[in-house]
Amino acid sequence: MEGKTLDRRTEEALRESEKKYRTLVQSINDLIFVLDENNCFSEYYPSKDISLFVTPEKFYGKNIKGLVPLEITYRYMEFSKRVRETGKSEMFEYPLEFDHEERWFSANLNLHEDGKSIVAVIRDVTERKQAEYHLNQSKVITDNLKDALILFDIDGTVSFINPAYTKLTGYKSGEIIGRNGAEVAKMTVVEHELEEILEIFKNALNGKDLLPISTYLKHTDGREIPIEFSTSYVRDEKGKIIRIVAVITDTTDRKQAEEALRESEEQYRILVETMNEGLSAINAKGEYFFVNNSLCEMLGYSRSEMIGKPWQFFFDKENREIVKNQLSRRKKGEKSAYEAAWIKKDGHRVFTIISGQAIYGGDGNYNGAFAVITDITERKRAEEAVRESEEKYRSLVENINEVIYTVDQNGLVSYVSPTIESLIGYSPSELMERPITEFVYQEDLSHMMRNVQIILSGYKASNEYRILTKSGVIRWVRTSSSPIFRGDQVIGLHGVLMDITERKEAERQLRESEEQFKLIAEQSLMGIIIVQNNFIKYINEAAAKFIEIPVRDMKDWALNDFMKFVHPEDIPFVLEQARKKQSGDPDAVTHYNYRLITNSGNMKWLSLYSKSVQYKGQLADLVTLIDITDRKKAEEKLEESEEKYRFIAENMEDIITILDKDLKIIYVNETQQNISGYSSEEVLGKPAFEFMHQEDIEKALSFYQGALEVGVGRGELRMRRKDGSYTWIEAKGKIITDENNEPKAIIVNRDIEKRKKLEQELKESEEKYRFITENMDDAITIMDKNLKIEFVNEAQQKFTGFSEKEVIGKSVAVFLYPEDVDRALEMYQEGLKAGIGSTELRVLRKDGSYSWAEVRGKAIIDKNNELKSILVTRDIDKEKKLKQELRESEEQFRTISEQALMGICIIQDNLIKYVNQEYADIFGYSIEEMLNWPPLEFMKAVYPEDKKMIIDLERKKHLDEEDSSVHYSFRGIKKSGETVWLDNYSTTIIYRGKVADLVMSADITEKKEAEENLRKSEKQYREAFNSAEFYKDLLSHDITNILQSIIFSAETGLLLLDDKERLIEKLNDIKDQIKRSSKLISTVRKLSKLEKGKVKLHSLEVTQILQDAVIFIQKSIHKREINIQVDTADEFYYIQGNEFFQDVIENILQNAVKYNQNSLVEIVIRISREQEAGTDYLKMEFIDNGIGVKDHSKQAIFDRGYREDRNISGRGLGLSLAMKIITSYNGKVWVEDRVPGDHTKGSNFVVLVPEAIVE
């Protein structure tokens, strides 16, 4: 009895022990299981923290192989074997993917007390693994940092340095770690900076906030290295400082770069001002604060006329929208190039490509935009000429330029449009059933495949990647693709592919050019001012523009000088804050807004950010300014717009309702009363459900709950009118949060009563369309997925002769010509992939004959989710016979054409459909090349200047109902680039059932060359005759007059031998006449030389020639008082010219004296530089106070032999010679009024000559 009691107590203690053991096992965070000798689960205790395993019942008695990934199973078995053999525990770690996240586990295996089973304890060690990874990453980062790191304990002892510190100072870790920071400073800091660094170190130990400083370290090899030194603190969870981290940056490269930057600034300024492209920059308000000369010349404005004006001033309404949209993209950080047309000062349009990017401030805010403008006006004009002829074919051309493609779910090409061949060289047939991955550039393959997976998951997507052409060339493409659904299943994708190689190349070039102008953008972001000791030490261009005073005029301004432009009410506060910042007062306000009065009296709002900084060793106030005038105005307009939108809401045709969180109506517009009959007083404050149909309340609640989850919702409900009737409405709702953070529902209700009635009428019309189907001429067949016929209409029975009963349930293949069955099955398979298909087949008639039919099919899914096919069959037997006759007729035409001596070509739908060998030989192409040309490609064989003439004649031919032919001559361009003249006959014909152009051409190049040679010969003869007549007249008239004058003076002198003074006067007259004849002969020789083209050009220095010419004029004309001034910016100027250039200057100066009736002759010579069409010119202006040149004579005075005043002697050769000389330099010369519009105030002769480049 006593023994039994003991047994019961033992059993009770055992059960209690087991209970405690089980409770302990179940409460720990580890997963525990036992594997028997067959590796089956005998015990399993799940963990609350390891949730990737299922319930224990799923494991008991199961082998581990079926429940754990295979590679992990083998590891369990391997380590279990070791444990059984050695009796020692083993541990290993392994990863598992769970819910797309990788987690790490450790397995600790021990031998069970039975000596056979294995006890496994599994623990989630993901966090430890991640910590180890991050620790390793941190070490890699610190070891590879370019900046030096030094870590101090709170007592100032160095506890860590990275390799960069050793490289920077020369000291190894053993020489530094363990030393006090002050001791390290004495070892590494240059002597004149040591005191300041020790003070900073002392402040750091006291936990003060420190600003970065610049100083110098000394290397162990004696070098002094410029550095930037900054400190930060490591704090524990209570915020207590436990470490000090110092980051030391070697600024040697930056110092060198700053010096190089200063040297290159002038080079970039010259580059910007002389480049062909226009450059512009606008501020955040959209006003220009920078434009270069090229943009000014492009638009006809001076720089002063453009600076400060809003960009909208230079665009019409249409292009303002384009630029506005692009600027919106800039504010989002996007870069792009786009086309826009500017309005020039003279009203003409300039077409450009604008490549822009945003300008950001140091705070990351948008401050404006920078743009490169390329003039494409000439290209646009050419495009416009072509575009006029292409208008009616636009849709076709646009579609053909893009490639349409279809890919099945296995990534195989199932369809591609013919345009693909012009893009990558493969024909569509070469691509069919091949993987798209074969043609994708290897580096882009993974990126492209991820995009394909997104589409096959049921989403639309666009992508850009590179492909390989047949010849191995890499091209960039953009695809826009959508999934193809069969029911709810994605069976492939289809999309559009576009060649973007040129765009990508343009983007690459843009990125390269952006680096060159980065300096300009960085220096033009916002206003920057440095104030020190109440004086302005620095101000940038942007800040000066805010008050409309040049930077140079603000040099050495005191702070009070600037305060004159601050609004009087704001001066005390702004002045106080500036003084606080200069003294380093921590209570100073760092950001505030104030008003500025500009030099022109306008008021601007500025947002000011400032801070105390060290500037040249002293405290200063660093101020950055942003113009927020527009924002202030916008805030004022916001209130004005509220009333406008309230007016819109009250006058909408839809009902606007706002509900509070309890779904009570708190606002309705007036339309509500018009539709429901209830006034606003009758509905406000009441639940919205009171005005709904009882059956729709549950649906409305569901609609509201869905809107709460996603923010928006919509549904159709019945609304009660005041007269008790109901009307259908479509409700669209959006959930918003008001200023009190309370949810509100804004609902727009549209009356759809009429639409509901139409839907009912649509159902009623279904029977009508069924009747139409039964009575249409085309045969209709419906078959199931096994190709068995389920339905035929009466037209099908009439076509084949078989009754409905004879075909229903039978395979459609039974009624096809045996040889056509395979083709029919191919069409069926393609139709399943693409959704539709068509082909031509021979169909069995009941009389045993076969008839040709065109069959079009479409795959559909019926209401039972079953695949069906609808076939529409049309009898084309007669068409087939007609086509056969047409082929025989065409063969006859081809035989005649191939034997013809003229070139023959047929053009249809802008494609060459036929060309004979003679026509191909004229242009030097093969027949195959011309037949494969894409639409309108044949226009490349037309001389550019003749394209518009041909387009106009061909259009006129198509519009003329009486005469459908045209005859003309034009220039063609052969494949070799050679020009050929053609005589062309074009007439309209019907070719293969459609309108086409029949063109017959004959080569008349030799005839044209003969005519041209004849014209040139005649012109040369006429020019020679005119020159001979001119020189004959010159010798017979001017030389004769000079000789008569000499004879008269000589005879008179003989009579005055006793009067010495008058005799000398007559001898001087003879001398002057001889000089005159000598100069006349010299001028004639120069004219003759110029006309024969015998001139050579070399580099000339202009300033010295001007000085020589001025001295010559002043010495040669004694009787007039002459004042000549030369206005130049530079000391030397160079042109490409020759010895004749001095004649030009002397002739212009002599005319300025000769045609001047004032007692004092005043002449100003002004020299400047100008750029035109990408060429640098030297511009010389000769401004006089003479009698001037009338408008009708301004061109004629440069003609040979012209004289405005016949009373003044001379042949008028001077200006004619000047014109010929300057023209031979590729320059220009003209005359303007000194005072625009009044020729009597004097003349301005302008000479424009290309500038020479001198090393």
Distance CA 1195, CA 935 (A): 49
Round to whole Å and give the CA distance between 159 and 152. Answer: 6
Question: In the prediction, which pLDDT does 580 show?
Answer: 92
Report the half-sphere exposure of 322 (CA within 13 A, side-chain side): 18
| Under 8 Å between Cβ of 673 and 688 | no
Would you state the pLDDT for residue 395? 46
Query: Looking up tokens 């039964």, which residue turns up?
Result: 774
Mean pLDDT to the nearest integer, 806-827: 87
Residue 61: phi, psi to the nearest 5? 80, -5
Superfamily of domain 24-131: PAS domain (3.30.450.20)
Q: Using CA atoms, how far apart are residues 1086 and 918, in angstroms rounded to an integer?
A: 54
> Which of 500, 501, 483 lies closest to 492, judged by CA?
483
Phi, psi of 100 (to 5 degrees): 65, 20
* pLDDT value of residue 518: 39
CA distance 1023 to 1030: 11
Report pLDDT for 900: 58
Q: List, for residues 1145-1176, the tens digit of each pLDDT value.
A: 888 988 888 888 898 999 999 999 999 888 99
Angstrom distance (rounded) from CA 11 to CA 1220? 131
pLDDT mean across residues, the chain: 81
Give the C-alpha separation, 929 to 906, whole Å: 15
Report the pLDDT value the prediction gives residue 918, as an integer from 0 to 100: 86
pLDDT tens digits, one per residue of 1044-1072 = 556 656 666 666 666 767 767 767 666 66
What is the per-residue pLDDT across 923-982, written as a single tens digit (0 to 9) for each?
Answer: 999 999 999 999 988 888 899 999 888 888 888 877 765 666 788 889 999 999 999 999
- Better-predicted residue by pLDDT, 570 or 733: 570
- pLDDT for the residue numbered 48: 57
CA 1008/CA 905 separation, integer angstroms: 23
* In the chain, % of residues over pLDDT 90: 20
Tokens of 995: 């309108």
Residue 213's closest CA among 231, 195, 225, 186?
231
Phi, psi torsion values for 1034, nearest 5 degrees: -60, -50
- Confidence label for 593 from pLDDT (cuts 50, 70 and 90): very high
Among the residue ranges 535-539, 606-610, 730-734, the one predicted with the least confidence is: 730-734
Q: What is the spatial distance between Cα 839 and Cα 856, in angstroms, rounded to a whole number?
A: 7
Which carries the bigger pLDDT value, residue 1050 or residue 478? Answer: 478
Contact 308, 285 (CB under 8 A): no
Per-residue HEC secondary structure of 384-422 comes to HHHHHHHHHHHHHHHHHHCEEEEEECCCEEEEECCCHHH
- What stretch(es) of the chain map to CATH 3.30.450.20? 24-131, 145-250, 256-385, 402-500, 526-633, 652-752, 776-875, 881-1003
Contact yes or no for 668/656 (Cβ under 8 A): yes
Q: What are phi and psi of 614, to 5 degrees?
A: -90, 120
Specify the 3-state DSSP secondary structure of 297: helix
Please identify which residue in the block is written with the tokens 């309890």.
662
Q: Which CATH class is domain 256-385?
A: alpha beta
What is the Cα 82 distance to its own chain's centre? 65
For residue 25, pLDDT beyond 60: no
Whole-angstrom CA distances from 433 to 153, 409, 497, 859, 972 are 69, 12, 18, 21, 42
The CA distance from 657 to 672, in Å, is 8
* Helix ranges (DSSP H) in 790-858: 794-800, 804-807, 821-834
Chain segment 170-229, per-residue pLDDT in tens: 998 888 898 998 888 888 898 888 888 888 888 888 888 777 888 889 899 989 899 888
Please spell the DSSP secondary structure of 338-358, one letter per residue.
EEEEEE-TTS-EEEEEEEEEE
- 887-911, pLDDT tens digit by residue? 665 665 565 556 656 788 899 999 9
Q: What is the dihedral of CA 1213, 1214, 1217, 1222, to 10 degrees?
A: -150
For residue 905, the SS3 value is strand
Evaluate if residue 1093 carries a pLDDT over 60: no
Write down the architecture of domain 881-1003 according to CATH: 2-Layer Sandwich (3.30)
Rounded Cα gap, residues 1036 and 1045, in angstroms:
14
In angstroms, what CA-CA distances link 252 with 25, 77, 168, 588?
64, 61, 11, 35
Separation CA 324–CA 150 (nearest Å): 51
**Cβ neighbourhood burial of 969 (10 Å; 0-12, 13-18, 19+):** middle
Looking at 65-79, 290-304, 490-504, 1229-1243, which range is the least confident one? Answer: 65-79
- C-alpha span between 653 and 596 (Å, rounded): 47
Answer whether residue 663 shows pLDDT above 70: yes
CA 1180 to CA 1246: how far, in whole Å? 6
* Amino acid symbol at 1194: K
Q: Going along 78-147, which residue ranges are E strands?
A: 90-98, 101-111, 118-124
Q: Per-residue confidence at 307, pLDDT binned at 50, 70, 90? A: very high
Kindly tell me if the per-residue pLDDT of 1211 is higher than 50. no
Rounded distance between C-alpha atoms, residue 348 and residue 346, angstroms: 6
- Greatest distance between any 2 Cα atoms in the chain: 189
CATH of 402-500, picked from 3.10.450.50, 2.30.140.10, 3.30.450.20, 3.30.1370.60, is: 3.30.450.20
Q: Give the model's pLDDT for residue 513.
A: 57
What integer pLDDT is reported at residue 146 of this predicted model?
77
- Does this model's pTM top 0.95? My answer is no
Chain segment 870-883, per-residue pLDDT in tens? 888 888 877 777 66
- DSSP conformation letters of 531-555: EETTEEEEE-HHHHHHHT--GGGGT
pLDDT at 598 over 50: yes
Please name the residues in contact with 682: beta carbons below 8 A apart, sequence gap of 6 or more: 722
Q: Is 298 left (phi over 0), alpha (psi -120 to 50) or beta?
A: alpha
pLDDT in tens, 423-440: 889 999 999 999 988 889
Please write the tens of the pLDDT for every residue from 74-124: 888 888 889 998 989 898 888 887 777 788 888 899 998 888 899 988 888
- The CATH architecture assigned to 776-875 reads 2-Layer Sandwich (3.30)
132-160 pLDDT, tens digit each: 666 566 566 666 777 888 988 888 899 88
Spell out the residues 6+ positions from residue 968 whose beta carbon is closer than 8 angstroms to its own: 949, 950, 953, 984
CA distance 184 to 197: 11
pLDDT band (50, 70, 90) for residue 521: very low
d(CA 649, CA 655): 9
Tell me the three state secondary structure of residue 766: helix
What is the rounded CA–CA span in Å between residue 66 and residue 96? 16
Measure the CA–CA gap between 1186 and 1149, rounded to whole angstroms.
Answer: 11
Q: Is the pLDDT of residue 21 over 60?
A: no
pLDDT-above-70 percentage for the chain: 80
Contacts of 871 (CB under 8 A, 6+ apart): 780, 781, 782, 783, 812, 855, 856, 857
Mean pLDDT of 159-168: 87
Please provide residue 536's backbone torsions phi and psi, each rounded to the nearest 5 degrees: -80, 110
Instruction: Name residues whose C-beta falls within 8 Å of residue 24's C-beta, 6 or more positions apart in sequence.
Output: none
**Secondary structure element (H or E) that encloses residue 191, with its range:** helix 191-205
- pLDDT-based confidence at residue 53 (cuts at 50, 70, 90): very low
Instruction: Name residue, tokens 């009333």.
Output: 643
E-strand ranges in 850-938 read: 850-861, 867-875, 903-908, 911-915
* Gap between the Cα atoms of 118 and 85, Å rounded: 12
CA atoms lying within 13 Å on the CB side of residue 1156: 24
Span of 62-71, 467-476, 558-567, 968-977 with lowest mean pLDDT? 62-71
Which residue matches tokens 């479509």?
A: 730
Q: Given this model, what pLDDT does residue 373 score?
A: 92
Helices 1060-1091 & 1005-1034 angle (0-180, nearest 10): 180
Determine the pLDDT at residue 1057: 64
Choosing among 3.40.50.720, 1.10.3720.10, 1.10.10.60, 3.30.565.10, the CATH entry for 1095-1255 is 3.30.565.10
Dihedral (CA of 803, 806, 812, 818) sign: negative
* Confidence band for 32, pLDDT divided at 50, 70 and 90: confident
Q: Per-residue pLDDT for 1179 more than 90?
A: yes
- Given this structure, which CATH class describes domain 652-752? alpha beta
Q: Which long-range contacts (CB under 8 A, 24 or more apart) does 665-671 make?
A: 666/744
Looking at the domain 526-633, which fold is it?
Beta-Lactamase (3.30.450)
Q: Residues 672, 652: contact at Cβ < 8 Å?
A: no
Q: Which of 17-21, 868-872, 1079-1083, 1116-1120 has the highest mean predicted lDDT (pLDDT)?
A: 868-872
Sequence-separated (6 or more) residues with CB below 8 Å from residue 67: 41, 58, 59
Q: What is the pLDDT of residue 747?
A: 87
CA–CA dist 868, 789 (Å, integer) = 10
Task: Produce one character per residue of 687-706: b if its CB has 16 or more CB atoms within 10 Å, e if not.
Answer: ebeebbeeebeeebeebbee
3-state secondary structure of 793: coil
CATH fold group of domain 145-250: Beta-Lactamase (3.30.450)
